[in-house]
Structure 1
Amino acid sequence: MSDTVTTVQRSLSAVLKPCGWLYGRIMRVREKLYRAGVMRSWTPSVPTVSVGNIGWGGTGKTPVADWLLGWAGKKGLKPVLLSRGYRAKPKTLPYVVQPGAMAEEAGDEPLMLARNHENARIVVDPDRGRAGRMAEEAFKPGLFILDDGFQHMAVRRHVNLALLRPEDLGEEWDRVIPAGSWREPSSALHRADAFMIKISPKRFKELRPVLDKRLGLLFKPVFSFSIAPTGLRQVVGEGAAIDFGGAPYLLVSGVGQPAQVAATATAYFGYPPAQHKVFKDHHGYTKKDVLTITRAADMAGCGAILCTPKDAVKLGPLCTEAFWQFDLRVVFGPSTLGKHVTFESWWETRFDAIRGRTAGHGGNG
């Protein structure tokens, strides 16, 4: 959510808070209807994990989903990710994303995941139950990943991961839209099997008293993770590099939290970008945008233009060899289960238990 929206929400808090309370009540009723079976849901026959959040954007859902796809591939499973395809405009539904698809058709994040994991199946459809039934029959998956699925109760899951931002535990706690960024009230957090926070190990330790206060009574583990660059590669072309050799660069981002992108780039290179061109989240880049970016880079004396992988899938057909993107990886840190108990070890134990319960009901692996 933009700073402008947050400012407006805070200034109109007295008016918007009752609206948020009413919206929260509606969401609680919706949850009860699903639990009672009044609103129908589909149950996959193989292990299914939902990666979602309580609020809007910037929690790291896509990197976590990306890690899960990679993990499944290494285990010899056939993962299928179900996405509603935010702003995607596929010609048919369900839509199986191919690595060569257009971002406008597939959606930026589904396309990025399809290119990163060619052995996986990324399926776009607002009706994820329909998409899941098709995928279960056509692909015989060993794992379903429900992207942005915390509120999508029409598909049942075996593990519910709720991703939080540090501010969700502070000033944004229980501020339901339109008064805040939360999609549901704090009572919905009981559905989570585990919480994940994109934060450094040091900051996680500092945040521990707040975690215990806000989430302690739910008795669910909280895992930390961060996203670390491992190198650079050209958006078009075959070039790869460790860094820019100290040369100035222009940064471009169209993501939920651009300040985090700038902080990551500054920490990686050891110096900030000469300029940061910020576009709105999920921005659809045009030729005019690329001309504006390249001119700004020329004026700033930057021979390199750096963007995020999410932006790269949309910039690709338009940009030049001056455009580079980060190679990124997820790094798991400490958790409330102990310094050495990371999400990866917890997840593997949990997955094995789920697979044992679902064996013989379909799927593979």
Structure 2
Amino acid sequence: MQAWYRGARWLWLLWPLSLLFGLISGLRRRLFRLGLKRAWRAPVPVIVVGNLTVGGNGKTPLVVWLVDWLRRQGYTPGVISRGYGGHSEHYPLVLNETTSATEAGDEPVLIYRRTGCPVVVGPKRAEAAARLASLGADIIISDDGLQHYALARDIELVVVDGKRRFGNGRLLPMGPLRERQWRLDSVAAVINNGGPCAPGEYLMTLAPGVLRPVSGEGEAPVPGSRVHALAGIGHPPRFFSTLTEQGFILERQLALGDHQAVTPAQLAELTDAPLLVTEKDAVKWPGGHNDCWYLPVDARLPTEFEHLLLSRLKELNHGD
């Protein structure tokens, strides 16, 4: 909702609802803290990758990075997710090579295809975590779920969009916040996607890879080519800027909502030139364009963040 980031005055009409949201979420958080509501603890460590705001902030690239990094440290990681946008006949759903984004949601499918690690989707994260541990994962990464206190966690990482940050700083629905910014004081690290960084934040940059075919045949477009661009992610302008920085000339830019799929009518206007999309759009691609390519990105994080993670992992005491 762009009004959250433009400071629209009419949002003050939603202040009573924002106050109610804060009271309810605060009460729920306190019930877990006091033990009146029980959190389930997995038999293996749990790392939550979340955010304070609704919408995409860059959690998925960080999750993929974590899977690769943890493997290099000798772990066998797995990922759990709510599977936003997916609809399965049963949960928890263990992803395989034939699982579609319609069933599991686009982000879990992307993570599974990029990493090959076990991925389990379910609205009850404790059930998904238990299923994942039974598959042999010795550490669990929760894609989102910072506010899902029914699942105990060992390490919390929060991703912040460096450009949009916290919008107007108000709670839902007046603003984009699920919890107030004081919550950052209790997490292990704040990861800033793209910068500029506030003090204490770790900068994450996204390095673009080589274009890969979605439905393309022949040679991929090269920098200097005129192309169309489409992005159904949390902040589409970031993708468009990346393409421009690489030298592509963007004839048309179609920005969709996070997780939103393109319609045939929208696609019909983009068939007269190569079409470049994000990797998240590629996993739910409906077809309809015979020259479509996606741009993968890889997260880059500072060694100081790696040292922090190593230190926190050594402090854990599971199974002792």
- TM-score, with length taken from structure 2: 0.91
Contact 2:32 2:39 in 1 (8 A): yes
Deviations 1:242-287 (A, max 9, x none): x614221110111111111111111122x44121122222113444
**How many correspondences in the alignment?**
320
Q: CA deviation at 1:184?
A: 1.5
Task: Tell me which residue corresponds to 2:279.
Answer: 309
Q: Distance in 2 between matches of 1:99 and 1:240?
A: 26
Equivalent residue number for residue 252 of structure 2: 275
Larger helix proportion of the pair: 1
How much does 1:130 deviate? 1.1
Q: CA deviation at 1:44?
A: 1.3
Q: What is the aligned counterpart of 1:228 among 207, 210, 220?
A: 207
Q: CA deviation at 1:196?
A: 1.0
Matching of residues 216-365 of structure 1 within 5 Å: 221-236=200-215, 244-269=222-247, 271-294=248-271, 298=272, 302=273, 304-315=274-285, 318-333=287-302, 341-354=303-316, 357-358=317-318, 360=319
Whether 2:72 is the aligned partner of 1:78: answer no
Matched letter for residue 235 of structure 2: Q
2:62 corresponding residue in structure 1:
64
1:292 deviates by 3.7
Q: Supply the distance in 1 between the matched residues of 2:165 and 2:100 (Cα, whole angstroms).
A: 37
Q: Name the SS for the 1:65 alignment partner.
A: helix
1:163-182 to 2 correspondence within 5 Å?
163-166=159-162, 171-173=167-169, 175-182=170-177
Task: Label 1:168 to 1:311 Cα distance change in 2 as closer, same or farther (>3 A).
Answer: closer
Aligned to 2:154: 158
Q: Distance in 2 between matches of 1:347 and 1:153?
A: 22
| Matches for 1:174-193 after TM superposition, within 5 Å | 175-193=170-188
* Corresponding position of 1:146: 142
Alpha-carbon offset, residue 181 of structure 1: 0.4
Deviations 1:4-39 (A, max 9, x none): 5656x7232332223322311221111110111111
- 1:320 Cα shift? 4.5
Alignment partners' CA distance in 2, 1:169 and 1:306? 26
1:136 is matched with 133
State the one-letter code of the partner of 1:280: G
- The TM-score with structure 1 as length reference comes to 0.80
Tell me if structure 2 keeps the 8 A contact 1:95–1:123: yes
Rate the CA distance shift 1:239–1:34 in 2: closer, same or farther, 3 A: farther
1:10 to 5, 8, 11: 8
Question: 1:124 aligns to what?
Answer: 121
* Amino acid paired to 2:275: I
> Cα distance, 1:289 vs. partner?
4.3
Q: Residue 351 and residue 238 in structure 1: after superposition, are their counterparts in 2 closer, same or farther (change >3 A)?
A: farther
Aligned to 2:250, the other structure's residue is in SS state coil
Partner of 1:217: none
Q: Which residue of structure 1 lines up, in the alignment, with residue 109 of structure 2?
A: 111
Return the alpha-carbon distance in structure 1 between the equivalents of residues 165 and 2 of structure 2: 18
Q: Distance in 2 between matches of 1:55 and 1:115?
A: 26
Q: For the Cα contact (< 8 Å) 2:211–2:293, is it kept in 1?
A: yes
Question: Is the 1:41–1:156 Cα contact (8 Å) retained in structure 2?
Answer: yes
1:323 maps to amino acid:
C
Shift of 1:237: 6.2
Asked if 2 retains the 8 angstrom alpha-carbon contact of 1:251 and 1:306, the reply is yes
CA apart distance, 1:186:
2.7
Code of the residue aligned with 2:268 in structure 1: it is L
Task: Find out whether 1:93 has 2:91 as its counterpart.
Answer: yes
Contact 2:56/2:258 (<8 A) preserved: no
Q: Percent identity?
A: 30
- Unaligned runs of 5+ residues in structure 2 are none
Alpha-carbon distance in 2 for matches of 1:90, 1:287: 24
